[in-house]
Each structure stands twice: as structure tokens, then as C-alpha cells.
Amino acid sequence: MLRRLMTSLTVAAVCFAAGASGLASSAGAQAAEGTLAGGGTLSNRTIELPQGGSLGPLYSVYVVNKTATPVPIEFTSDAPVGVRVTPERSAFSVAPGATERVPFSLTVDKGVAPGKHKISVGLARTADQTAGKITLVPAFASNFTLSVVGARATLEVRARDIMTGAPATGGLALARINGSSKVDIARTEASVLSAVVAPGEYEARFEVGGRVLASKRISVSKDQNGAVDLDVSTVRFGAVSLQRNERDGELQTVEISTLLDNSLEPIADAKTSLEVKRDGVIVETVALANYNPLSVATHEVSTRYAPANGWDDGEYSFTLMLSGNNNFLLRAADVPTTRVGAVPDKPVAQGTTGPIAGFSWWFVVLVALGAGVFAAAVVLISGALRRRRGGVSAPKPLATRAAATVVPPPARKAAPARRRTRRRDLDRT
């Protein structure tokens, strides 16, 4: 009886051991067939760096491939703006049963606010690659805390619609200015951005679709609690063109055209108009179109204008305007002009200055008068010469005239001789 009991216990023990061994083998096979393990030397730790400081590749993350096949791996990180995590390699393959380490370095910009910041680094495998798209399946993450030491200040940036005064929702960003470069340190898709920053120079900006609609430079000092408002021009006029329509050299009408861009939200009860001035004095304001609402789009604005009583001489200017509720008035920055009257509306030749262009006609008149005086003088001189040649012999050279006027003195001694001769003849007779 005792022998049978001992035999049964022995058989049961052998079966239990075999079963336990089988379970352990099965679990080990599963671990070997599809698991990755890893960790980081900074996990759950805190490191301290000053603003503008850096840390070389002293720390690392590692991965262990417990599968039976090579596994492609990529480095991943999540850090606040202004903190850069740089691995020594970002993509590699881990052989079955192998362990790979990836050292990384940290760099803290001068604009990063003092305080504690959470950072996560890790390694992930490339699980699927179809149609050129790579999907990363996280393997693990190593989380740690970065404590940034330095002076600090708080800054709040608010964006508001310049037309309605209401908060403007879009892309708000705050950038640290370092000499000629700018580094974004905070960003939000809202109407208010709050940030703890280090003292220095910053630029706040508001943008939609990559276009900056408003920006402002800010100087922040130590322990300052500051705020800055960005007036966002959600609506703007583009370049304004002017075309003259003439008949027989006289101006009939002008065509004014531009684009009106609404970037953010519909605007109720909006109106466009054209302000016309002559020589700086308002002639009239012409209503163009009503929008209720002015939709979020780019609108074409064009009109053909002519004064009801005809064009008077002078210089005309044309300003497009958009008005709305709350006494809002937006004027186009581009104001074209044209001239009507005695001074021709022709562009000044390139390289010609204003004074020369303004006195060009006087210059022509003076040249013509000078030419006439010169021609008259030539005619008078020529006529005098012709008359002189026709009546009196042409004047002789100076030497000839001098020789002609020289008269030899009279031969006074010869006369008495002749008288004596005649007396002798008388005596002889």
C-alpha cells in the first residue's frame, strides 16, 4: 500500500515538473519570438543646465532585440521648443539577440525659460512600410527632467482683430532673437500665448497659412510680467492699378482695380468706396459695393470713374476704402494718381529729374528764340556786305591803304631853276 502511494506521488511530481517545464519553455519561446527591451541612463532622473548650455553625448538609450529576426530601429524624442536632442545616429538595424546603444546630446537655447521641463527619448521599430509611408511602433521611452537655471520673466501675447477688436484666432508664435537669427520658443493655435522666458529680445507674430499678418519686437527684462497686443489686419487691399481711357487725346474715364483679401472670418455689413481728390482736395466719395458678410476669400474690386461734370485741370488721386461697424475704416496703402490739363500725363523718361521735366517747354522756347536772333544777325551782316561790294570798291588791305595815302613832298627847288632859265632866255632876246 505504501509502495503504491509513493509510486503515485513520484508520477505526479514528474508530470508537474514536465508541465512546469513546458510552460516555462513556451513563455521563453514567446519572449524570444517577438519582444524588444530597452532603457535609458537618464530614466526618471533630473539634470541641470544653464540657459545657452549644452551636454555632450554622456547619456544614452539602448534596445535589446529578443526576436529571431533583425529589427529596423529609429530614434525618437519629445522636448520643449528651444531644447534640442541630437542622437549620434537616428536609424539603424538591430540583429537578433543583439543590444544597441545610442548616445545623445542636449542643447538649451538662451531663450528657454528657467524651470523644469519634461523630456522623453526612445527607440521605435519600423513596423510597416507601404506606399512610401513608414509607421513607427514605439518600443519604449526613457523619460527624465531638465532643469534650466537662469533669470526668468513672463510674457503674454494677445492677438486682436484691428477691425472689430475681438480676439483673432490663428497661429501665434514667440521667437527669441539672437543677433541676426530667430529661434521659435513657443507657439499656439489660439488668440493668446503665455510663456515663461529668459530676459532678452523677442519677436511676437501672428500668421495664417504661413503668411505673417502682424508682428512686433519686444524687449523683456528680468522678473518682468509683460503683455503685448498684436493688431491683426485680417483684411487688406493689394496693389491698386489705374488705367486711363482717352478719346482724341482727352481723358474720358479711369479704371481702378485691386484685390481685397479677407484672411480670417466673415465680416458683416462691410462696404467698399472710392475717395477722389483733385490737387489734394476731396472731390467726392463714391460707394462701390456692399458685403453682408465679406466672406473669407480674395475679392476683386474694380470700378470705372468719371466726374459727373467732366474733368477739371489738376492732379487726381484715388483711394479705395473698406468700412464696417464700430467706426472701422481701412484705406488702401497704394494710391494711384493721374493728371488732367495743360501738363501732359506722360511718364518722365528714366534718368530725367523733376525740374528738367517741368521746364522742358521753356527750354525749347529759349532755344528757338536764340536761334531766331542768331539767324537775324547773320542776315543783317550778309546784306551789309553785299551793299558794300556793289557801290565802292572793296576795301584794300591795311598796308595798301597806308601806301596810297603817303604823298611825297613837293620839289620846291626845281621851280626857281625854271624861273631863272626863263629870265636868261628873255635877256638873250
CATH 2.60.40.1120 fits 153-233, yes or no: yes
Long-range contacts of the stretch 345-351 (C-beta < 8 A, 24+) = 345/244, 345/251
Kindly give, in sequence order, each residue whose CB lies less than 8 Å from that of residue 51, ignoring residues fewer than 6 positions away.
108, 109, 110, 111, 112, 114, 148, 149, 150, 198
User: Is the torsion defined by CA of 301, 302, 308, 310 positive or negative?
Assistant: positive
> Do 153-233 and 36-149 fall under one CATH topology?
yes
The 10s digit of each residue's pLDDT in 356-396 is 444 455 566 666 777 776 777 666 777 666 666 654 444 44
pLDDT at 390: 56
**Residues of the chain falling short of pLDDT 50:** 1-33, 131, 133, 135, 345-359, 391-407, 414-415, 417-429
pLDDT at 195: 82
The 10s digit of each residue's pLDDT in 175-224 is 888 788 887 878 888 889 988 787 888 899 998 767 788 899 988 887 77
From CA 196, how far away is CA 363, in angstroms rounded? 69
CATH 2.60.40.10 fits 36-149, yes or no: yes
User: Is the torsion defined by CA of 371, 372, 375, 377 positive or negative?
Assistant: negative
Q: Which CATH number does 236-340 carry? A: 2.60.40.10
From CA 324, how far away is CA 248, in angstroms rounded? 41
Enumerate the β-bridge partners of residue 202: 176, 218
Predicted TM-score (pTM) of this structure: 0.42
Enumerate the β-bridge partners of residue 108: 83
pLDDT at 128: 56
**Cβ atoms of residues 187 and 173 within 8 Å:** yes
Q: Structural domain boundaries of the chain? A: 36-149, 153-233, 236-340
